[in-house]
Amino acid sequence: MNNPLEGKIALVTGATRGLGKGIAVGLGEAGATVYITGRTLESDDRSGSLRETELAVTSAGGICIPIQVDHSDDEQVRLLFDRIQDEQGKLDILVNNVYSGVQVLTDASGKGFWESEPNFWDACNNVGLRSHYVASVFAARMMTQHQQGLICTISSWGGLSYIFGVPYTVGKAACDRLAADMAIELKPHHITSLSIWPGIVGTEHITRLAAQMRSNEATDPQSSVFREGYNWETPLLTGRVIAALAADPTVMGRTGKVQIVAELAQHYRLVDKNGDRPVSLRSLRFLIPFAIPALRKYSWLIPNINIPWSLLLLTTLGAPKV
């Protein structure tokens, strides 16, 4: 079936660029009608706009409805869901993706949390963690009426280990817990709640970061992964994975759990935009060449075996200590 999501109504928050744009395109190419939100409707000096994403979704064969929304304003979010209810009568898929902390994380890079103002937390977790909760409240009100639905909350490996700064990692760990705890209350209503972990995604921000690292001639292994684009994913892969989850009649079996994009791509036999299939960041095929860069050109020789979560938690997790 070429359009497994035909007739499905999806909402992707924060879809002017990056992951949100790729997710919207992935849902659109699977046949969904995709509502997208963001603060920038038309193109301006900043990269990305809702109109550009709308064009990309339409080009992929989907139907896209852009709505300008500031997710820091609960009333605008309420009106967004009222509009979807009035126009469609239902919502099948919510993707909690909106995030406004990219610039403040960049500005705080290399600093201790105490060297930034306390509103560093709000910049990371207001339009982000809190927005995901608010959108999920309104989505669940619609989905419970029909006793079906899928809520995907975009998180990251920062929920497992330190990366980018304290407000970021605490926020991502909270996203994972949000998805897990919502799943408990939504399961009796046949609504699936998942936390989605992409890998290293070549968004506009990450591409700029890689260029900066190249110009600074950073030599540590972590920097080299960014400089070389090693095992990168495009935003579209996350979109294709979420589309596959939405079309999977057994998806409820995954509810409340972290879902890794690369591992799901392998499970559903999906490829990325360029035809590649990146491996999970817990795969030996990623980890060994990550530590020994000379092996990257031979990574295909290394078994694609994922480190068990129990071992990963023992070796990687920095908090909480129990």
Residues near 269 by beta carbon (within 8 Å), at least 6 away in sequence: none
Print pLDDT tens along the chain (322 aa): 579 999 999 999 999 999 999 999 999 999 999 999 998 888 766 678 999 999 999 999 999 999 999 999 999 999 999 999 999 999 999 999 998 877 787 787 778 899 888 898 899 999 999 999 999 999 999 999 999 999 999 999 888 888 888 989 999 999 999 999 999 999 999 999 999 999 988 777 677 666 665 565 555 555 666 666 788 899 999 999 999 999 999 999 999 999 999 999 999 999 999 899 999 999 999 989 888 888 888 888 999 999 887 777 766 555 555 5
Closest of 10, 11, 255 to residue 131, by C-alpha: 11
Query: Sign of the CA dihedral 261, 262, 264, 265?
Result: positive
d(CA 272, CA 151): 22
The string over 7-30, giving b where at least 16 C-beta atoms fall within 10 Å of a residue's C-beta and e elsewhere, is ebbbbbbbbbbbbbbbbbbbbbbb
Query: What is the C-alpha separation between 183 and 177, in angstroms, rounded?
Result: 10
Cβ partners under 8 Å of residue 225, min gap 6: 200, 231, 290
Alpha-carbon distance of 58 to 168, in angstroms, equals: 33
Catalytic (active-site) positions: 168
The token duo for 280 is 């999970």
